Amino acid sequence: MGGASLRPEDYDPRLNDFVLSLARSGRPRVCFVPTASGDSPVYVANFYRAFSGHHDCEPSDLGLFERTVADLRGFVLSQDVIWVGGGNTASLLAVWRMHGLDIVLREAWEQGVVLCGVSAGMNCWFEGSTTDSFDLTRVAALPDGLGLLPGSCCPHYDGEEQRRPLYTRLVAEGALAPGYAADDAAALVFEGTELREVVCTEDGSTGYRVDASGEEPLPARLL
């Protein structure tokens, strides 16, 4: 997801209705992973408010800074959807690796759990990405993702002015592998490692294939 919000004042349930439709259960178990925000209590509260108030599901959250889940593998594999929040991608990856969550998430993906997320929660699944993890005023390359999806990615493509020119330049220069970008109101839908479609919640929002020759807008389906 390029920039989906969970804040009550601008929450749009359509994208998460779509996410839940991909789950293997009629009433999916949805786990929010707020690591990138430092397990922000406000972010966690917004998740529960959104998913309890708008969707027929069983929400839960996984905190790692004050961890209470001893059996990480059992907990994660019991979920139908893993929803990763935004924040600091580099810190997210470091904490996940320290706890072994990176390995567990790969196993969950291989077993059919839906993996999704916004911003840092989009970046993490690819081999590389653009991030403001090291300086909030300056976006940079981060070639250190989990690599479940090949290539690189860029969220907030139309929402943050540095993202588009930087990403196209980094790919053209070979600092990041070719990949995909998503506007704030768009999401890329992968089945395995193949892009199946692009969905959006606003007319004109879409995803893009970006390689050394430039960007190619992709057709998007309005939810």
Q: What is the mean pLDDT of residues 47-52?
A: 97
Asked whether the predicted pLDDT for residue 67 surpasses 80, the reply is yes
What is the Cα–Cα distance from 131 to 162, expressed in whole angstroms?
10
What is the Cα–Cα distance from 129 to 37, expressed in whole angstroms?
18
Task: Report pLDDT digits (tens) over 76-102.
Answer: 999 999 999 999 999 999 999 999 999
Asked whether the predicted pLDDT for residue 75 surpasses 90, the reply is yes
DSSP assignment, residue 66? T
pLDDT of residue 36: 98
Asked whether the predicted pLDDT for residue 202 surpasses 90, the reply is yes
pLDDT of residue 139: 85
Q: What is the mean pLDDT of residues 49-69?
A: 97
Task: Report pLDDT digits (tens) over 112-155.
Answer: 999 999 999 999 999 999 988 888 788 889 999 999 999 999 99
With beta carbons less than 8 A apart as the criterion, state whether 48 and 59 touch. yes
Asked whether the whole model's pTM tops 0.75, one would answer yes
Which band of pLDDT confidence, cut at 50, 70 and 90, is reported for residue 193? very high
The secondary structure of 154-187 as a DSSP string is ES-TTTSTTHHHHHHHHHHHTSS-SEEEE-TTEE
119 counts as catalytic: yes
Catalytic residue chosen out of the listed positions 37, 119, 129, 133: 119
156 counts as catalytic: yes
Mean pLDDT score of the chain? 96
What is the Cα–Cα distance from 201 to 205, expressed in whole angstroms?
8
Catalytic residue chosen out of the listed positions 37, 129, 152, 156: 156
